[in-house]
Amino acid sequence: QYMGLNELREKFLSFMESKGHLRLPSFPLIPKDDNSLLLINSGMAPMKKYFTGEITPPRSRVTTCQKCIRTPDIERVGITARHGTYFEMLGNFSFGDYFKHEATAWAWEFFTKELEMPVDKLYVSIYQDDDEAYDIWTKEVGVDPSHMVRMGKEDNFWEHGSGPCGPCSEIYFDRGDEKGCGKPDCHVGCECDRFVEVWNLVFSQFESDGKGNYTEMAKKNIDTGMGLERLACVMQGVDNLFLVDTVQNIMKHISQVVGVNYGEDDKKDISLRVITDHIRSTTFMIADGVMPSNEGRGYVLRRLLRRAARHGRLLGRTEPFLYQICDTVIKENASAYPELVEKKDYIIKLIQVEEENFAKTIDAGLAMLREIIENKDVDILTGEDAFKLNDTFGFPIDLTREILSERGIKVDVERFHELMLLQKQRSRKARKNAGADAWDSDSIDFNDLSATEFVGYTDYQCEAKVV
Ligand code: ATP
Ligand code: MG
Ligand code: MG
Ligand code: MG
């Protein structure tokens, strides 16, 4: 039976409600009172204080579908079948309430009964020393021991410095040989796209002092995370995240606007997927109050938009077009995220302005890069050139690095940052001379100030600190 992304989200949340969880809406992408994180990257991130006990949660069982941004995955986007910089994470959380028995049983019930996933396609990983989890999965839940995999600390132990930590257990879906790398030793946890990690259950049971000493906590927590698009991908039997129903509609719109069909050329398909992802992440970031700038979250936003624009160029599109696609992103997400509809005109305008600005200089910048690649016999770009690309042509350093790394050319990033710093000092002095002392607080520019109006005074303070 076919299930759309919106249906799957609802199915999960109402299933967890039937198990006593309180359904909360997604938290915004900008973390609140948390300087350790630029953007929310998991369902548990905005609930840290419920876990530490600093704030009492509204109920000891909570379920959410959380908007997430993961920029560290940026280079895998469009390449693997399963990574986006934007995705939604479904989760159920226990704050000192239920533990392993219930978390595992419900996960299995949801997959095999509620969604009727074929049991022979499912694999479960556990932390190598977690015999308790092994026994529960095999004896209570009834998972076949041949579908159990023990993994090391790297993969299956959740830990962040000191504080609460613990082993985790993941459920993988086997998409079959033809989706994998084909190597004889392809296995659960392989980097390829055969075994897709769909759900991660974290059993937060220890308190770590950060020096290797672990004590069992009296009140244990559960934190789970499941990528909604990944779930939809395996349920709908499509090749990758970008072919999931609602996401595919976005990619189709891009195809139509740039005049390139999906599925005809591998390289062009990558660009189509990258643009689809980046327009999703940027639309949601702007809706939550991020403004393009050269620092912090604003830099992340700018880098994603400019990277998408460059992929548009690779598809032969020279006119701004991302702002048009935005419309479809909003339409496809309107029911779950009404804030997008509310801010529609604003989001579209902002993307259009940013796109038009970059469009003025992107060709000159690309020409400069082409000349460097073709005419000079270099294996490293000077900091001066990287600076010029940034300052004159608006190329974020990461974009320059990425384009050149495709040709095996490195960038003198250290020198680039030196030059950036010098420039900052120069402009600070200039501002001072012009009597603009009021604005002389480090790295805040006018962009950041307009962001302030949007996200409120407290977030502005926080942003200033992050930078
Ligand atoms: P992977 O190993 O595939 O990169 P992960 O172990 O980094 O995933 P977790 O941190 O465990 O992922 O996040 C919980 C769940 O969120 C994952 O099991 C997956 O379903 C989903 N997820 C994680 N990263 C992404 C991403 N970049 N795009 C889409 N879904 C993701
Ligand atoms: Mg990952
Ligand atoms: Mg993983
Ligand atoms: Mg994981």
From ligand 1's centre to the CA of 44, what distance in Å?
13
Is the Cβ–Cβ distance between 340 and 333 less than 8 Å?
Answer: yes
Ligand nearest to the CA of 65: 1
Rounded CA-CA distance 388/382 in Å is 10
Residue of the CA atom closest to atom 4 of ligand 1: 83
Rounded CA-CA distance 315/391 in Å is 25
Instruction: List CB-based neighbours of ion ligand 3 within 5 Å.
Output: 197
Residue 179: HSE in the Cβ half-sphere, 13 Å Cα cutoff:
20
Contacts of 103 (CB under 8 A, 6+ apart): 92, 94, 201, 203, 222, 224
Is the Cβ–Cβ distance between 18 and 278 less than 8 Å?
Answer: no
Q: Which atom of ligand 1 has the smallest separation from the CA of 86?
A: 28
Q: Phi and psi of 321, rounded to 5°?
A: -145, -15
Contacts of 194 (CB under 8 A, 6+ apart): 174, 175, 176, 177, 179, 180, 181, 186
Ligand nearest to the CA of 230: 1
Is the Cβ–Cβ distance between 45 and 69 less than 8 Å?
Answer: no
pLDDT, one tens digit for every residue, the chain (467 residues): 899 999 999 999 999 999 999 999 999 999 999 988 999 999 999 999 999 889 999 999 999 999 999 999 999 999 999 999 999 999 999 999 999 999 999 999 999 999 999 999 999 999 999 999 999 999 999 999 999 999 999 999 998 888 889 999 999 999 999 999 999 999 999 999 999 999 999 999 999 988 889 999 989 999 999 999 999 999 999 999 999 999 999 999 999 999 999 999 999 999 999 999 999 999 999 999 999 999 999 999 999 999 999 999 999 999 999 999 999 999 999 999 999 999 999 999 999 999 999 999 999 999 999 998 887 778 899 999 999 999 999 999 999 999 999 888 999 999 999 999 999 898 888 777 765 444 433 333 333 333 333 332 223 222 322 22
Is the Cβ–Cβ distance between 326 and 347 less than 8 Å?
Answer: yes
ipTM reported for the complex, 2 dp: 0.99
Model-level pTM?
A: 0.91
Within 6 Å (CB) of ligand 1, which residues are found? 70, 73, 82-84, 87, 89, 197-200, 225-227, 229-230
Rounded CA-CA distance 254/271 in Å is 10
Question: How far lies 120's CA from each of 104, 144, 147, 308, 410, in Å?
Answer: 17, 9, 8, 39, 46
